[in-house]
Structure 1
């Protein structure tokens, strides 16, 4: 009897100690974290809790690819005209690899602390100033991206519907109509994963653009007169920013990761690698054929160079417009998330806030697009400021601050690589901004028809 009593007492004490241990672990966790007992090891692991992922691997690839692919594809032939083919291929390859590496840093940082929002990672690394900085940069970058997409609508859609009433052909009115009838309903979806189907359709439209432009460029190259100049001046003021702008998808990475079915760092990294590789191939092929068609005369918006009466090009323009229009809602989601993190961090989901922010953002972007005269300025400014911040600087600094010293000392190889990565980002930003300011001040234009 006594033996049985003491055995039960010992068992109770062990249970109490285990419960206290788990409460201690809970107490040390920060906001946004949760715990889940690993049945095999008995350890407490950090997990994402804000949404149970239901988006398939393929749909996640479509969404991330759609976030990468956008108006930047139309500026890459212009970038090649400024660098030459060999240097362009090297720079584009480097940008793709560095973009994939920066996503690796983001995912590892998110996995350490269990946070699924870029802004919260900034908050964990630097407190509220870091949160504000990350949210502001995301907002600036994605407003620029949305503006560039709608700028293409403003330029190209009038050519598609020529013959209608004059006011309807005016691009300024058309971007408002498209924003209200197409973009806003998609932007009001509750979850980003729901846009997987429209993202897939958007990508198929861009593939049609790619297939059409490639043989078309060969045909045009054989029939164009010899006035096309093959010389270029190797000015790179807008070249690297355009490339950086073309690969920015980082604000969308963590929301897509959160909604991914059976989420894991390796699985999401595979989503990112496949998306970046696919977009790299599309970018490279489009830039080469666009450049070989027009050489040094290529403009910063490639479609401007093609015939506005040709039936095939009319279809190509329509495909591109559909693609960029369906991309705008995907890009809008991270901006809304950033605004909510700043203004309503502790509030639950509410449809009024959800809809109001989308309407205000679309109104602001429409005003910007109506009054900005040149899409190259959007490519250059966003590519030189927010793009390096999101690709290089913030992921590297967040990784250095969040991954604990015990796990990876500051002098370890991963931390040294991250420091070099951040340094490269600052060099790239300073260099690009300097070149762009010099060109604006002196009034000298790089090759490319502007």
Structure 2
């Protein structure tokens, strides 16, 4: 059930829709449909590839951040870590633009734009996001909470409820039932996902907290401690996954998010 929240978060881009639509050179419904379908399809393809390959390699012991399953001595994955960090750096401004625009339009709508206020809001947003991100090193929990508290309502609850309100038809009419079903599904998923996430946190079953995993320690302390080729990097994970000895010395429970 937590996976619904994570997947909803992965595909949730409703808050960027207005800015992206107005940024099109010729904003028409046809062009917007092409952009959204191409974006969702490419995101689905990339997510599916990472999810399937990660699960095949590590089965039910996949971490919330798949990069944590790979050893720090893996040069190829270190390149992937750097690329992912650059992706976050380049993606964050887009999210900041939306948050700042909402604050400006909801709180300071009647006031003239000011550069000082613009900079102050940006600094506050950056400080808050940085502080919250440094409060935990378990990205899985963050994604689950973000998914059940923000992504699911934005994707499954608010849109159908808004349509039900605007169409002004009986709530049990044939046209309203599918929308009502989607809203109910979203509410149930959000409640169950939130409860299960809280229970996992209470049980202490979260993540590796950035510590090297058992098979990485075994490999670096063994006879093949110096490895750099692709074959060696791949064999360490496949050997341990086929032997079923993942996390023998690390207290981690299988994650149900994949």
Given the two structures, how large is their TM-score scaled by the length of structure 1? Answer: 0.43
- Listed as ranges, the matches of 1:265-280 within 5 Å are 265-280=29-44
Partner of 1:335: 99
Partner of 2:115: 351
**Partner of 1:385: helix, strand, or coil?**
helix
User: In the TM superposition, what is the alpha-carbon distance from 1:344 to its structure 2 partner?
Assistant: 0.9
Segments of 5+ residues of structure 2 without an aligned counterpart are 207-252
2:186 to 419, 425, 429: 425
Give me the whole-angstrom Cα distance separating, in 2, the residues matched to 1:442 and 1:261.
51
**Superimposed CA distance per residue, residues 345-392 of structure 1 (whole angstroms, 9 cap, x where no aligned partner):** 233443322222111100111111222242122111111111111111
Give the 3 Å change call, closer, same or farther, for CA 245–338 of structure 1 in structure 2.
same
Give the 3 Å change call, closer, same or farther, for CA 281–394 of structure 1 in structure 2.
same
1:394 lines up with 2:158 in the alignment: yes
**Superimposed CA distance per residue, residues 389-439 of structure 1 (whole angstroms, 9 cap, x where no aligned partner):** 111111122222234x3xx67566543322222111111111111222233
Partner of 1:233: none
User: In the TM superposition, what is the alpha-carbon distance from 1:443 to its structure 2 partner?
Assistant: 4.2
User: In the TM superposition, what is the alpha-carbon distance from 1:442 to its structure 2 partner?
Assistant: 4.2
Give the 3 Å change call, closer, same or farther, for CA 435–258 of structure 1 in structure 2.
same
**Partner of 1:371: helix, strand, or coil?**
coil
Give the 3 Å change call, closer, same or farther, for CA 278–413 of structure 1 in structure 2.
farther
Check whether the contact 2:60–2:255 (CA below 8 A) recurs between aligned residues.
Answer: yes
1:317 lines up with 2:111 in the alignment: no
Give me the whole-angstrom Cα distance separating, in 2, the residues matched to 1:417 and 1:435.
27
User: Which of structures 1 and 2 has the bigger CA Rg?
Assistant: 1
Given the two structures, how large is their TM-score scaled by the length of structure 2? Answer: 0.73
- Listed as ranges, the matches of 1:365-404 within 5 Å are 365-403=129-167
User: In the TM superposition, what is the alpha-carbon distance from 1:244 to its structure 2 partner?
Assistant: 1.5
Check whether the contact 2:54–2:66 (CA below 8 A) recurs between aligned residues.
Answer: yes
Determine which structure has greater relative contact order: mean sequence separation of CA pairs < 8 Å that are 6+ residues apart, divided by chain length: 2
User: In the TM superposition, what is the alpha-carbon distance from 1:330 to its structure 2 partner?
Assistant: 0.9
Give me the whole-angstrom Cα distance separating, in 2, the residues matched to 1:259 and 1:425.
30
Partner of 2:200: 439
Give the 3 Å change call, closer, same or farther, for CA 381–274 of structure 1 in structure 2.
same
Q: How many residue pairs get matched?
A: 210
Check whether the contact 2:63–2:140 (CA below 8 A) recurs between aligned residues.
Answer: no
User: In the TM superposition, what is the alpha-carbon distance from 1:275 to its structure 2 partner?
Assistant: 0.6
Cα RMSD (Å): 2.3
Give me the whole-angstrom Cα distance separating, in 2, the residues matched to 1:387 and 1:358.
23
Give me the whole-angstrom Cα distance separating, in 1, the residues matched to 2:203 and 2:57.
30
User: In the TM superposition, what is the alpha-carbon distance from 1:285 to its structure 2 partner?
Assistant: 0.3
Partner of 2:55: 291
User: In the TM superposition, what is the alpha-carbon distance from 1:271 to its structure 2 partner?
Assistant: 1.5
Segments of 5+ residues of structure 1 without an aligned counterpart are 1-235
